[in-house]
Amino acid sequence: MKLKEPLEVIMRKILIVSHDNLAQGMFNFLNMILGKQKNIDFINAYVDDITLEEKVNSYMDNNKNCEIIVVTDLYGGSVNNYFMENIDKYHLITGMNAVMLLTLSIKLDSNETTESIIEEAITSAKEGIIYCNKIQLDSNEDDF
């Protein structure tokens, strides 16, 4: 599906959105590892009296000329479902993890297409999920 193109894109931005405070935790993690990031923001959903819709509308109004990559916590969850309603206005990825967000953050200002950056981040995220006990067992078997 083709995104609606803004008149002039100033920059790419990542918007991390989750139930409760996971988004803020991921944001804090990225700032700890990479230093303060100017093009990464977060929205914690359902933590106060401000609705998700109000928070998102305010954010989008303030970032009209930005290409937004929205990263949510859970496919099928209320946060991701909300963003599915207007999917032509931004890129939407779900199932966030630290490796995915690091890859997106590092590549954000590159000359690569947004789609290729997203695909690389998803691949990295999948490859970063490892059952460490299995690696240890395989390593021990190689010793004999």
What domains appear along the chain, each with residue ranges and CATH number? 11-142 (3.40.50.510)
Check whether 56 has a pLDDT greater than 60: yes
Mean pLDDT confidence for 100-105: 98
Reduce the DSSP state of residue 94 to 3 states and report it.
strand
Query: What's the rounded Cα separation, in Å, for the pair 139 and 77?
Result: 38
75-82 mean pLDDT = 98
How much is the mean pLDDT over the chain? 93
Q: Which of 115, 113, 46 is nearest to 79 (CA)?
A: 46
Task: Annotate 68-83 with DSSP letters as a single string.
Answer: EEEEES-TTSHHHHHH
